[in-house]
Structure 1
Amino acid sequence: MENGEVHAILGPQWSSQAKFVIDLGVKAQVPIISFSVTSPSLSPTQSQYFVRTAYDDSSQVGALAAVVQAFGWREITLVYEDTDYGNGLVPYLVDAFQEVDARISYRSVIPPSPADIDIVKELNNLLLKQTRVFLVHMTAVIGSRFFVLASDARMMSEEFVWFVTDGLSSFLDPVSSKALDSMQGVLGVRPHVPSSESRRAFEERWTKLYAERNLHEEIADLNLFGLWAYDTVTALALAGEMAWEPAKFRYFNRNTSSNNLAFSSIGISEMGPKLLDKILSIKFPGLSGEFNLPNGKLQPIAFEIFNVVGKTEKIIGYWTKAQGLSPELNLSSKVNYTALAHDLKPPIWPGDTSKPPKGWVMPIAGQQLSSLENIYA
């Protein structure tokens, strides 16, 4: 903004970085467009120049609560990382579970950069609790390690329920095979991405590009954030073409007596407000679905409920705000489904069983993972 006089910024990647950059965007009237900042603590309604081309994390809590209600669980242990991303969803989950007569009975907080011993100690705490329904809200980096250690602790067996939010489930493809093997029987929710000819064509080009460069070992399935990224760049390019005025490709009201600490030398973008207006008005069929930004953020259509079985994620149902849970997705249907387990296809639970866990046990006094603690100490 100071040196290049940019008129739009894509990013930043993390919610913890975003607030600072968004404040600068408001000062310079430059749109800050992010396809990866999902924390509900940052809202386009609070910061005019912040545009979220991704789903707000809080949009999934209805689907999470519906699954909890369907299986009749009344108490849930929430396991989350102690970051802006992890903490931001907690109040929304509390409210959503209260609406279905369930509650978070214990909060297990994982440090932002945990050593293995930190995770093992929290697994110890979980074993001492009666509740056996664990909702895990983590990024893939920490979450994949967490499940490997939970598997080592024999906590991916019968009587355990593991449920993941879309922060981890949207990244399941890139996690290691060892991590995926440790997640057998896990349930999760993630945004539904409709299939389309444009998406299939793009994925073919993606694979061909890597093949031509002999990068076979690095080929990964395109996750949701990759699709959002592509749609975001497309939208910004279209908005730039509509807003382009060479005479206004500058900043004004610049303070030449620079004080970098206070960023007082940042002026105001002449193009920024018009560019923002064009971005917010754009609608087109993107790779991730319909690109449309009412209230400055992408709106979800539906969520998938999936079950990790073998090397795949088996879709066992869908959730929409209008219809609730349903075994198949039919957006044109007028049917409102009940929140019952038969509104989903039967999942395979941890321990390779089809019998739904009751969600609680009587913990054995003194039961701990002392051997694991010794290994990771």
Structure 2
Amino acid sequence: MNLVWVVSILIICIPGSTEGASRPAAVNVGAMCTVGTINGRVSKIAIEAAVNDVNSDPTILGGTKLSLTFHDSNFSGFLGIIGALKFMESDTVAIIGPQTAVMAHILSHLANELHVPLLSFTALDPTLSSLQYPYFVQTAPNDLFQMAAIADMVSYFGWTEVAAIFTDDDSGRNGVAALGDKLAEKRHKICYKAALPPDPKATRDDVKNQLVMIRMMESRVIVLHTFAKSGLVVFDVAQELGMMESGYVWIATAWLSTVLDSTSPLSSKTANSIQGALTLRPHTPDSERKRAFISRWNKLSNGSIGLNPYGLYAYDTVWMLAHAINLLLDQGGTISFSNITSLGGPKGGGTVNLGALSIFHGGKQLLDNILQTNTTGLTGPIAFHPDRSPLNPAYDLINIIENGYQRIGYWSNYSGISVVPPETSSNWSSLNQHLPTVVWPGGTTVKPRGWVFPNNGKQLRIGVPNRVSYRDFVSRRNGTDIVEGYCIDIFLAAIKLLPYAVPYEFVLFGDGLKNPSYYEFVNMIASGKFDAAVGDIAIVTNRTKIVDFTQPYIESGLVVVAPVRRLNSRAWAFLKPFSPLMWAVTAAFFLIIGLVMWILEHRINDEFRGPPRKQIVTILWFSFSTMFFAHRENTVSTLGRMVLIIWLFIVLIINSSYTASLTSMLTVQQLESPITG
């Protein structure tokens, strides 16, 4: 009986003891960054603050503490690898970092083998695929979304080509490749790619050589995808070369917004060199928690550096990891490791003991917990899509002006460019896409065309006739080689409408003493001496057989040239509409109609009777009064009425013809031509 009680007690007590043992006192977490960079300094402060906040809240890990270890890679890939290996020797469950995509590609292979998740908010290379690197998680939007935003900006402002300057490393090359893909989707392209040595090795000479090449190109839209140290050198050299003047467009990736947020105040030299540039800032919606953390920042950083969005992502990454570890422990998981025996023991007396590297047994479960995160942090909602991209990535569009910067709009992957914050826009509307006025390099508010005539292109030779007559069409300005005229104005207007550059030069044809032969002029185009011609060149059949013409912009059709006959106004001008014969025939008809009506009416109509004198007056009055339809005598006979109706119609035609002829004679000059038939 006693044995039964002992076994029962053991069965009851063992589960409780096991559960208590699964909650370690501390969990090792590593963090890697380059403290000499802006993001490195900001993320170090934010990560330490987050770890302190997690450890001070017993409800997060149930008494377990996060034991944080920092490693400064100091711009060195070798030191980064050494630091990661040291983390793996000390039973680290996760590493926050690395800071660069170069190290992420290398260390992800190590993480795959040892099942240690890597969480990075700055290594945002879009090629860090979850299929190839399952244990690498990007906790901030990767550069694919940033490049999509830049492509939308290029499309919004109507440019077609851009030149890209980038750091020649994994992040720079793959970011520019993503930019090219996004531009191609909108029928744009990258016309030139300028690679700089990896940050911070780029010198002023390296930058100058690339900018000189870009200055010779057609495109004036430049996308700068690099890091802060190299990027500021690029702007400084660009200002020296006159590439921050009117006509240029500079679009910098998010590195420039971190400089604005974390470096205050900027030196006057730096502030002047970046005026008019556009840049992106990761958008984080406003919240009470975010405002509270911003108010704490000066105390946390001792005023040494300003907070930028990547500091908020660093803080949220720690909390994301803490919740995932807590869920792992709640699920009965254990923090346990086993050595990789295949690597053997330490060799060569090195400080890194490869034999001490161990596999984290709960790594897969911890990774799944991280990817299933669904909470709200300082950066807004935190969750992942099945492809591991964050929810609703968005950016602020920033325009740098003389006294700082202005936010001109927003971009999100579901609403595109908008002036409405992404979290408040419930539906897409084209009305939300009208951005406010942008201040461009040189201080102008007029949108740059985005291209110029390249200095390294072959100019088209445009032939121009050197005329001595009809100089309004085309002529040479006296004492100069400048040509002007209506045809030249048409040509220049057409050139301005082209969405690409056409370098050209005007070449005069003729000695200026007489009009040149247009037959020879056209033949010189066909022979290749001229690439094109501008002037008052008529389109005739024999010319169309050897050259192509544009659509005619002056067309007269088939015309007859005749002298103008001016009419002298005089007293008898009212008789001009009819010839004398016409007047005589008309008068005769009036008399005949009067006589016919008297014959038909005087026997039965008293108004046509009386003394002979009265009857003659009646005949004359009746016939001429019908001209104005003012006759008063009634017609009684049927035949008389029929004659009267026909005569009144004839009178109407005579009146209309006379009125029209007289009006045209008094208002329009007459043309006389000898051509008849």
Q: Per the alignment, in what secondary structure is the counterpart of residue 328 of structure 1?
A: coil
Q: Distance in 1 between matches of 2:249 and 2:339?
A: 58
Give per-residue Cα distances to partners, 1:309-343, cap 9 Å, x unaligned: 1242211112223222222225443234389xx62
Partner of 2:190: 104
Corresponding position of 1:334 = 427
The structure-2 alpha-carbon separation of the partners of 1:157 and 1:270, relative to structure 1 and needing over 3 Å to count, comes to same
CA apart distance, 1:153: 1.9
Query: Cα 1:312–1:299, aligned 2, differ >3 Å: closer, same or farther?
Result: farther
CA contact (8 A) 1:137 1:168 kept: no
Show the counterpart of 2:361.
270
Aligned-pair CA distance for 1:252: 2.6
SS class of match (1:296):
coil
CA distance in 1, matches of 2:222, 2:333: 57
Q: Which moved more, 1:144-153 or 1:241-250?
A: 241-250
CA apart distance, 1:302 = 2.1
Q: Aligned to 1:68, what secondary structure does the other structure show? A: helix
Describe the SS at the equivalent of 1:157. Answer: coil
Q: Quick one: which amino acid aligns to residue 186 of structure 2?
A: V
**Which residue of 312, 317, 329 corresponds with 1:227?**
312
1:253, distance to aligned residue in structure 2 (A)? 5.5
Shift of 1:291: 1.5
Which position in structure 1 is the counterpart of 2:255?
A: 167
**Which structure 1 residue ranges, 4+ long, deviate > 6 Å from structure 2?**
none
Secondary structure in structure 1 of the residue aligned to 2:250? strand
Q: Which residue of 2 aligns with 1:149?
A: 237
| Distance 1:65-1:324 versus aligned 2 partners, 3 A rule | same
Tell me, yes or no, if structure 1 residue 306 matches structure 2 residue 398: yes
More helix by share: 2
**Superimposed CA distance per residue, residues 58-114 of structure 1 (whole angstroms, 9 cap, x where no aligned partner):** 112221111111111111111111111110112221121122221111111112211
Cross-structure match for 1:362: 453
Contact 2:89 2:353 (C-alpha < 8 Å) held by counterparts:
no
- Separation in 1, partners of 2:318, 2:258: 20
1:164 aligned partner, one-letter code: A
Give the Å deviation of 1:273. Answer: 1.8
Instruction: Decide whether the 8 Å contact of 1:40 with 1:58 is kept in 2.
Output: yes
Aligned residues: 358
Match for residue 221 of structure 2?
133
Q: What does residue 299 of structure 2 align with?
A: 208
Q: Secondary structure at the match of 1:248?
A: coil
- 1:82 aligned partner: 168
Distance across 1 between alignment mates of 2:134 and 2:92: 17
- Rg larger in 1 or in 2? 2
Specify whether residues 3 and 182 from structure 1 end up closer, same or farther in structure 2 by C-alpha distance, changes over 3 A only: same
1:248 aligns to what? 334
Give how far 1:363 is off. Answer: 4.2
Match of 1:284 in 2: 375
How far apart are the structure 2 equivalents of 1:200 and 1:266? 42
* Alignment match, 1:94: 180
Query: In the alignment, which of 133, 143, 152 is matched to residue 57 of structure 1?
Result: 143
Deviates more, 1:102-111 or 1:345-354: 102-111
Distance in 2 between residues matched to 1:108 and 1:344, nearest whole Å:
30
* Amino acid paired to 2:314: A
Amino acid at match of 1:182: S
Partner of 1:34: 120
Q: Paired residue for 1:374?
A: none
Q: Secondary structure at the match of 1:33?
A: strand
Alignment deviations for residues 270-324 of structure 1 (CA, whole Å, 9 cap, x no partner): 2222221221222221112212123334344322222101242211112223222
Q: What letter is aligned with 2:123?
A: V
Query: CA 1:249–1:344 in 2, change beyond 3 Å: closer, same or farther?
Result: same
Superposed CA offset, 1:156-204 (max 9, x none) = 1101111112233344323543323311111122321111111111111
Counterpart selection for 1:6 from 81, 92, 110: 92
**TM-score (norm. length: structure 1):** 0.87
Corresponding residue SS for 2:90: coil
1:66 aligns with: 152
2:281 touches 2:309 (CA, 8 Å); kept in 1? Answer: no
Q: Which moved more, 1:257-266 or 1:229-238?
A: 257-266
Distance in 1 of aligned mates of 2:327 and 2:130: 22
> Retained in 1: the 8 A contact 2:176–2:225?
no
1:209 to 1:12, Cα distance in 2 relative to 1, 3 A: closer
2:190 corresponds to which letter in structure 1?
A: I
Report what 1:181 is aligned to: 272
SS at match of 2:409: strand
Determine the C-alpha separation between the residues in 1 that align with 2:161 and 2:440: 18
User: CA contact under 8 A between 2:396 and 2:410: conserved in structure 1?
Assistant: yes
Stretch moving more, 345-354 or 200-209: 200-209
Query: Percentage identity across aligned positions?
Result: 34
TM-score scaled by structure 2? 0.50
Post-superposition Cα deviations, 1:242-273, rounded to whole Å, max 9, x if no partner, equal 21279832213641832669956533212222
Counterpart CA distance in 2 for 1:335 and 1:236 is 35
Tell me, yes or no, if the aligned pair for 2:125 and 2:143 is still in contact at 8 Å. Answer: yes
CA 1:365–1:21: 2 relative to 1, 3 Å? closer
- Shift of residue 209 of structure 1? 3.8
- For 2:409 and 2:225, locate their aligned partners in 1 and report how far apart those are by CA, in whole Å: 20
Aligned partners of 1:303 and 1:319 also within 8 Å = yes
Distance 1:329 1:103, change over 3 A: same
Amino acid in structure 1 at the alignment position of 2:162: I
Counterpart code for 1:359: G
Alpha-carbon distance in 2 for matches of 1:171, 1:38: 18
Query: What residue is the counterpart of 1:198 in the other structure?
Result: 289
Q: d(CA) in 1 for partners of 2:95 and 2:300?
A: 27
Contact 2:333 2:362 in 1 (8 A): no
Match of 1:344 in 2: 435
Distance 2:360 2:455 in 1: 64
